[in-house]
């Protein structure tokens, strides 16, 4: 593959390959090993049309740890605000001879559109409600390291499934790796056809939690809700908030995950989010850097070979 636009289209062995490639960067990051130079001489542009903390910073850190020249384009300070189209923006980045472009955009499909127009590899850092592939990879890596394997794990993904690109990419990755995936949401925030994606839908969170190995909580994506039913925070917490009492329904060694940003007291209580045994939330962030290093390295290999740089 030239680009990473989604988990959709990746074979299970390709997902496993990216997880295996990520492993080598974890220890290297922990020991602050500065000897790696895989992306030296390459220009990486991070074009973010939507807010981000974790994804933007970890792509920047990942590129810098591999010695790329990293440039961030924030849409709020760019000529997008003056009416420039997405295609014209893409052609501008291309003309600057970027070697790899990382894109976050509020429209589903925008990353694919840009990938078709530019000469270098493009990585999707989240597009609308569509996909967030590096998030799914870092989640799978976290599960694999904590539980030994993704296969056979009962994973409950709970929250605003309808608007969540994280849920979609995770469903694709986790089912490809043979996990048993349950999704849980109010019926108004549950997409149709979940069974066709190989997952079991629940509206009752207590039922969904029975025997869970992993619980992944998602926030309400209020910015993507236009009209329709928007639950109040209080109402949502009552039926779908992860409390310690609720967590007792899962396996005793259950792993709690959240992609962030968290809304404490809404979808997750602080006692759960900060739990020293169960919570893997900060570990997810750490895995994010390793996964993004692996993706940048793997996707630029061909370009580096063509240039005779590796």
CA dihedral of 51, 286, 174, 209, whole degrees rounded to 10: -90
Check whether 261 is labelled as a binding-site residue: yes
To the nearest whole angstrom, how small is the minimum distance from the Cβ of residue 54 to ligand CP?
4
**Which residue's CB atom is positioned nearest to ligand CP?**
55
CA 189, 193, 199, 204 torsion-angle sign: positive
Nearest CB to ligand CP, comparing residues 126 and 231: 126
Nearest CB to ligand CP, comparing residues 52 and 107: 52
* 124, two tokens: 């999707």
| Separation of alpha carbons 300 and 310, rounded Å | 10
Check whether 135 is labelled as a binding-site residue: yes
To the nearest whole angstrom, how small is the minimum distance from the Cβ of residue 261 to ligand CP?
6
To the nearest whole angstrom, how small is the minimum distance from the Cβ of residue 52 to ligand CP?
3
| Separation of alpha carbons 189 and 205, rounded Å | 13
| Separation of alpha carbons 258 and 282, rounded Å | 9
Check whether 104 is labelled as a binding-site residue: yes
Nearest CB to ligand CP, comparing residues 102 and 202: 102
| Separation of alpha carbons 225 and 55, rounded Å | 22
To the nearest whole angstrom, how small is the minimum distance from the Cβ of residue 87 to ligand CP?
24
Query: For residues 45 and 71, is the Cβ–Cβ distance under 8 A?
Result: yes
Nearest CB to ligand CP, comparing residues 167 and 247: 167
Check whether 36 is labelled as a binding-site residue: no
Check whether 129 is labelled as a binding-site residue: no
Check whether 55 is labelled as a binding-site residue: yes
Contact positions vs ligand CP (CB under 6 A): 52-55, 126, 135, 259-261
| Separation of alpha carbons 291 and 29, rounded Å | 11
Q: Phi-psi bin for 111: left (phi > 0), alpha (psi -120 to 50), beta? A: alpha
To the nearest whole angstrom, how small is the minimum distance from the Cβ of residue 222 to ligand CP?
14
Return binding residues for carbamoyl phosphate: 54-55, 104, 132, 135, 260-261
Return binding residues for L-aspartate: 82, 165, 219
Return binding residues: 54-55, 82, 104, 132, 135, 165, 219, 260-261
């Amino acid at each position: 593959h030239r680009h990473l636009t989604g988990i959709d289209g990746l074979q299970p062995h390709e997902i496993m390959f990216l997880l295996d490639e990520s492993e080598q960067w974890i220890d290297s990051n922990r020991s602050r090993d500065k000897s790696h130079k895989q992306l030296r001489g390459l220009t990486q542009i991070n074009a973010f049309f939507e807010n981000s903390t974790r994804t933007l910073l970890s792509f920047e850190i990942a590129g810098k740890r591999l010695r790329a020249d990293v440039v961030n384009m924030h849409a709020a300070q760019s000529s997008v605000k003056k009416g420039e189209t997405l295609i014209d923006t893409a052609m501008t980045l291309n003309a600057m001879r970027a070697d790899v472009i990382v894109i976050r955009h509020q429209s589903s499909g925008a990353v694919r559109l840009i990938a078709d127009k530019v000469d270098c590899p493009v990585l999707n850092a989240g597009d609308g409600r569509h996909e967030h592939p590096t998030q799914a990879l870092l989640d799978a890596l976290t599960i694999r390291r904590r539980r030994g394997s993704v296969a056979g794990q009962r994973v409950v993904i709970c929250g605003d499934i309808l608007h969540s690109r994280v849920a979609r990419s995770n469903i694709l990755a986790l089912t490809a790796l043979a996990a048993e995936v349950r999704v849980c949401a109010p019926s108004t925030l549950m997409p149709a056809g979940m069974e066709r994606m190989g997952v079991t839908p629940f509206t009752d969170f207590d039922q969904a939690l029975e025997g869970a190995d992993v619980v992944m909580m998602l926030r309400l994506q209020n910015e993507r809700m236009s009209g329709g039913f928007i639950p109040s925070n209080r109402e949502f917490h009552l039926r779908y908030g992860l409390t310690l009492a609720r967590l007792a329904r899962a396996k005793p060694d259950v792993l709690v995950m959240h992609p962030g940003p968290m809304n404490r007291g809404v979808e997750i209580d602080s006692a759960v989010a900060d739990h020293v045994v169960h919570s893997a939330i900060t570990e997810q962030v750490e895995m994010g850097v390793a996964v993004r290093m692996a993706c940048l390295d793997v996707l630029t290999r061909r370009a580096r070979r063509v240039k005779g740089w590796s």
